[in-house]
C-alpha cells in the first residue's frame, strides 16, 4: 500500500471535522449597523477559507440564531462555534446565547455546539481603542 493510499484510507475512516463559525450580533433596526456583521463575516472568510461562516442576530434583524445554526448544519458542519459580536458578558452574551446553544444542540444532537466568550477583556481591544483615539472623529453621515 502506498503512502497516498494510506492517507486516502485515513481520510475516509476519520474525516476532518467541518467547522462552522456562527457570528452572532444583537441586531438593530439600522441596516448599516447590521451590515457590520456581514463585513466581519467576509473578513473572517478571507482569513479562514476552510471554515464555514454564517451570521445571525439575537433579535430585531434576520437571520435569527436558529436559522443561522440550521444553515451551518445544512452546509455540512459537525462543529459550530457561536461567536458573539458583543463587548461584555451581559445577559444576552451569557444567558440568552447559552440558551440558544442548548436549543440548537437539542435540535441537532450530532453537531458539537460551542459558545465562545464575548470580545470583552482582550489586549487587542485596547489596541483598537488606542487606534480610534489617535484617528479622526467619526462622521455621523458615514458611521
Percent of the chain with pLDDT over 90: 66
- Global pTM value: 0.82
Residues 53-70 have pLDDT tens digits of 999 999 999 999 999 999
Examine residue 1 and state whether it is found in any structural domain, yes or no. no
Examine residue 104 and state whether it is found in any structural domain, yes or no. yes
Average pLDDT on 31-59 reads 95
Examine residue 61 and state whether it is found in any structural domain, yes or no. yes
| Number of domains observed in the structure of the chain | 1
Q: How far apart, in whole angstroms, are the C-alpha atoms of residue 26 and residue 85? A: 8
Examine residue 99 and state whether it is found in any structural domain, yes or no. yes
Examine residue 6 and state whether it is found in any structural domain, yes or no. no
Whole-angstrom CA distances from 44 to 18, 67, 118 are 16, 20, 16
Give the structural domain span for 62: 16-134
Examine residue 63 and state whether it is found in any structural domain, yes or no. yes
Mean pLDDT score across all residues of the chain: 88
Whole-angstrom CA distances from 115 to 95, 98, 118 are 11, 7, 9
CATH at 37: 3.40.50.1400
pLDDT band of 50, cuts 50, 70, 90: very high
Amino acid at each position: 500500500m502506498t503512502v497516498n493510499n494510506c492517507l486516502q484510507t485515513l481520510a475516509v475512516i476519520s474525516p476532518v471535522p467541518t467547522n462552522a463559525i456562527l457570528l452572532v450580533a444583537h441586531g438593530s433596526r439600522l441596516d448599516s449597523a447590521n451590515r457590520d456583521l456581514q463585513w466581519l463575516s467576509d473578513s473572517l472568510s478571507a482569513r479562514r477559507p476552510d471554515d464555514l461562516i454564517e451570521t445571525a442576530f439575537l433579535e430585531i434583524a434576520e437571520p435569527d440564531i436558529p436559522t443561522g445554526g440550521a444553515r451551518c448544519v445544512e452546509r455540512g458542519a459537525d462543529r459550530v462555534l457561536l461567536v458573539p459580536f458583543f463587548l461584555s458578558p451581559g445577559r444576552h452574551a451569557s444567558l440568552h446565547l447559552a440558551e440558544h446553544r442548548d436549543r440548537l444542540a437539542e435540535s441537532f444532537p450530532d453537531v458539537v455546539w460551542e459558545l465562545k466568550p464575548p470580545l470583552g477583556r482582550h489586549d487587542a481591544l485596547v489596541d483598537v481603542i488606542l487606534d480610534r483615539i489617535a484617528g479622526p472623529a467619526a462622521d455621523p453621515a458615514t458611521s
